[in-house]
Amino acid sequence: MTQDKSVLDIKIYPPEAQGVGQFDGGRITEIKPIGFPHEGPAIENLGPLFYWAWATAKGYGKIALHPH
């Protein structure tokens, strides 16, 4: 049996290099490592990853019902 001793090439993308989005007229903003093409992400396509974002709100904000 052989062992693969390859090293992972890990890259850390700061918030400035990630995609951005907003909801409720900008009351809720988000940054995400993998954004939609129109949001300017550093990583355009990485594969079948789940959606993840870091969202913040300035006061009250809401996100309408949507299919996921």
Q: What is the pLDDT of residue 29?
A: 92
pLDDT at 24: 92
Among the listed residues 24, 34, 33, the one whose alpha carbon sits nearest the alpha carbon of residue 56: 24
Per-residue pLDDT, 27: 93
Whole-structure pTM value: 0.61
Residue ranges in the chain modelled with pLDDT below 70:
1-2, 4, 39-42, 44-51, 68
C-beta separation of 54 from 32 below 8 A? yes
The pLDDT assigned to 26 comes to 92
